[in-house]
Amino acid sequence: MTDRDARAAGRGILLVVAGPSGVGKGTMISGLLERHPRVQWSVSCTTRDPRPGEVDGRDYHFVSPAEFERMIAAGELLEWAIVHGTHAYGTPRVPVEEALAAGQDMVLEIDYQGARSIRQALPEAVLVFVAPPSTEALLARLEGRNTEEPEAVLRRLRSARTEFRHMGIFHFLIVNDDLGAAIDALEAVYLAERQRLHRADWQGLQARLLGEMEERLS
């Protein structure tokens, strides 16, 4: 058993999904949660304003910059970063650590900076990078939102370029060319991790099977 496996033994899975804005991370995660309702969504904090349809406490915890700074100083964030050079995002520490310790699986949507910090803090975390099939496809998705000014779209493209440069820190890559197939791929990653040897009572099963085998062969 590796050090990473030893840390994960008896704990829940933390599935970290990252990638550029507009690539479809949230929709993919929603698809996974529909198929596996026992998986919890880790709600991040952000200093940006809610977009149309977003609900505080469900999509994000929307906080003021002053409150965000207080949370950083108090050590209440597992990770945090300034994204697109404008707004701060962070992951509340206590809900994640309590859920994982209780064996509860969680999924977290963050950028590469957060994923890198999570990997350092929780080496057992499973990191998944979601990429677009092309820059043109990503641009079309960003412009199709109709919620961003042209300069904001360019800022997100620049951030996407930075995200692409850090693909190598992740364990898995999913290209979101077809949403259904992308959700299937994310589910496959989750199910594969759930079946890892250290997450099962393999020693109990091994002892029972060997005992049965000894009786059969004696």
Domain segments of the chain as ranges: 3-40+104-217
Let me know: does 45 contact 71? Beta carbons within 8 Å.
Answer: yes
Query: Which DSSP symbol is given to 60?
Result: B
Mean pLDDT of successive 10-residue stretches along the chain, which has 218 residues: 54 95 94 96 94 92 97 95 85 94 94 91 94 93 74 88 95 97 98 82 86 92
d(Cα 121, Cα 100) in Å, to the nearest integer?
13
Look at residue 180 in the predicted model and tell me its pLDDT.
Answer: 97
pTM of the model: 0.83
Burial of 86 (0-12, 13-18, 19+ CB in 10 A): exposed
Task: Please tell me the predicted confidence (pLDDT) of residue 6.
Answer: 46
C-beta of residue 123 within 8 angstroms of C-beta of residue 4: yes
> Which CATH superfamily does the domain covering 3-40+104-217 fall into?
P-loop containing nucleotide triphosphate hydrolases (3.40.50.300)
DSSP string, 4-31: HHHHHTTSPPEEEEE--TTSSHHHHHHH
